[in-house]
Structure 1
Amino acid sequence: MIKEAIILAGGLGTRLRSVVADMPKCMAPVNGIPFIAFIVDDLVKQGVERFIFSLGYKSETIIDFAESSYQHLDKVYVVENKQLGTGGAIKEASKTVHGQNVLVLNGDTLFSIDLEELSDIHTKQNAECTLALKPMTNFSRYGSVITNSNARVTAFNEKQFCESGLINGGVYALNCSSFLQHQFPGIFSFEKEYLEKYLHTHHFYGIAFDDYFIDIGIPEDYERAQKELKEK
């Protein structure tokens, strides 16, 4: 299993400002606990041993929390001086990875998949990137992802209403060595300028996991998290 994880926690959280004070999205309290704690705890439980926190806005609040609550974790902080986009953030964080592969997760999304299964499929397929996909019905907030019978990703569809489909769950197994060989700009989108751009020339796979999923990026789902994560 892949033992290192990058947690993307540099977002501004502007859509949550109406319900949460001025803080990074991942630090939004859920029943008094910063949301990022649910992600870290799940990773630790599944055997992740090294954490790379990709930070930006109010990074000191996340660092203070990690240092006080996870003193014994092997952790690294990569702080952006300016917004680099998801791709730029992952690129800079990937430079600190020790192994060939790393898990990448969004700090505002909890997707409780089997990380060992994702890791195994990723390495067996010799994939450059393997996406954890969430089956969903009646959705329009997310774009959908299409895979073929061999689990190769064949298309990324724009956001539109879908009765059923697979969405990008924001959890990836990434081959850092291959990823860093690309000539990326300093600021870029991982989704648009990496996944979509190289879709037909690189080995990208998508695996469906029908596990618990919550994205607290909008107030409605943040409020839903208060109830659901309390029950969990």
Structure 2
Amino acid sequence: MKALLLAGGLGTRLRPLTEHLPKPMALVGNRPWLEHLLLHYKEQGVQEFVIAVKHYRELIESYLGDGSKFGVSIDYSVEKELLGTAGAIKNAEHLLSDRFIVVNADIIHQVNLDAALRYHEAHGGAVTICLTEVEDPSHYGVVEQADGGRIVRFIEKPKKEEAPSNRVNAGIYIMERRALDFVPSGRAASIEKETFPQLIDNGSGVYGHPIGGYWIDMGTTERYRQLHWDLLDRRFPLRIDAKEMEEKSIWLGDNVRVGQGVLFVPPVMIGDDVTIGDRAIIGPYAVVGKGSRIGKQVRLAHSILWDRCKIRAGAQLNECIFGTATQAGPHILHEAVCNRNMEVQRR
């Protein structure tokens, strides 16, 4: 069985970080999320992937290649124009198996795929929509289910007190190929607004399976920060590729050079090949990307730096997110969000 990863869109609400980058390639714990996603599904037995690409597809293709370096195989389905969720799946139909998984690649999650597949096989319908439970469903499309988990309707962004449940579409689907017979070719189509309602109406069988576990849409800078604080607090148990120091919740990568009098205030994650100057204070809640240079007496807290950032001596950063190769300082910066190759002087 193959997995189709939908990675064609841009993260408009994560700009400027993803202005020239597909949102699934945003770094999560110093690795592109798309890499984490690939490995997560590989660990659960998926060996064949199709990745739907559109904007800046060369960045994805050059990074992941044919999948051999990750021990999987990858094909690419290229959209000449954005076709919506259903249109992107239809565009990739010739590369898919009779039963396949669809994953919105910019949704951060961990799923027990085996349990979802057992449920899908048992109900015999055309689609299983994985569901997640949220505290306030008024920002999402909420499902109403009958006995056995069959979905009878979707309600888009209901008032909290009027929502039939707190279960919402998690952006992960198990589908039979026959479901694609109801998706038009050659035009944009929404799976949530067109395909699923049609499959419900014609009795094809659309069922919902709650996945539990961690789930967040990283589509805003606020949620992107929260994702990383959850990662550092281990509420999101993603593997951290660094050595945890004896002082818990301090992770250092390979070849990290730490100056005299540096203070780490946990939780902190430092990537490979990072240099930290004398008497810098790093943390709490700091993520520093690979190859970055932190100057002397820098104060860095509640901030995320991507790879190869340079922070000049004496700078103070709080609640900042810097894209790759951003340079800043020596000023005080608060809540700055900056794209790659920008030099930040003041905020």
Stretch of structure 1 that moved more, 66-75 or 183-192: 66-75
- List per-residue Cα deviations over 1:165-215 (Å, max 9, x = no partner): 100001100001x12322514211111110123322220000112211021
Larger radius of gyration: 2
Specify the code of the residue in structure 1 equivalent to 2:169: N
Q: Describe how 1:145-164 pairs up with structure 2 within 5 A.
A: 145-162=143-160
**Whole-angstrom CA distance in 2 between matches of 1:37 and 1:228:** 19
Q: Does 1:90 align with 2:89?
A: yes
**Normalized against structure 2, the TM-score is what?**
0.62
Structure with the larger RCO, 1 or 2 (CA within 8 Å, 6+ apart):
1
**Whole-angstrom CA distance in 1 between matches of 2:183 and 2:210:** 30
Stretch of structure 1 that moved more, 20-29 or 203-212: 20-29
**Whole-angstrom CA distance in 1 between matches of 2:24 and 2:18:** 11
**Whole-angstrom CA distance in 2 between matches of 1:209 and 1:30:** 21
Distance 1:181 1:62, change over 3 A: same
How far the C-alpha of 1:134 sits from its partner, in A, is: 0.5
Specify the code of the residue in structure 2 equivalent to 1:43: Y
- List per-residue Cα deviations over 1:95-129 (Å, max 9, x = no partner): 211x3100100110122121111112212222101
Match of 1:23, SS?
coil
Query: Over aligned residue pairs, what C-alpha RMSD do you find?
Result: 1.8
**Normalized against structure 1, the TM-score is what?**
0.91
User: Aligned to 2:133, which of 135, 148, 152?
Assistant: 135
* Aligned partners of 1:19 and 1:219 also within 8 Å: no
Specify the code of the residue in structure 2 equivalent to 1:16: L
How far the C-alpha of 1:19 sits from its partner, in A, is: 4.1
* Aligned partners of 1:5 and 1:51 also within 8 Å: yes
Q: Give the unaligned 5+ runs of structure 1.
A: none
Q: Does 1:34 align with 2:32?
A: yes
| Residue aligning to 1:124 | 122
**Whole-angstrom CA distance in 2 between matches of 1:173 and 1:227:** 30
Q: Does 1:100 align with 2:83?
A: no
How far the C-alpha of 1:137 sits from its partner, in A, is: 1.2
Residue identity over aligned pairs, in percent, reads 30
How far the C-alpha of 1:94 sits from its partner, in A, is: 2.4
* Aligned partners of 2:87 and 2:183 also within 8 Å: no
Q: Does 1:51 align with 2:52?
A: no
* Matched positions, count: 228
Match of 1:134, SS?
strand
**Whole-angstrom CA distance in 1 between matches of 2:182 and 2:136:** 36
* Aligned partners of 2:7 and 2:52 also within 8 Å: yes
How far the C-alpha of 1:13 sits from its partner, in A, is: 1.2
Q: Give the unaligned 5+ runs of structure 2.
A: 238-347
**Whole-angstrom CA distance in 2 between matches of 1:212 and 1:131:** 16
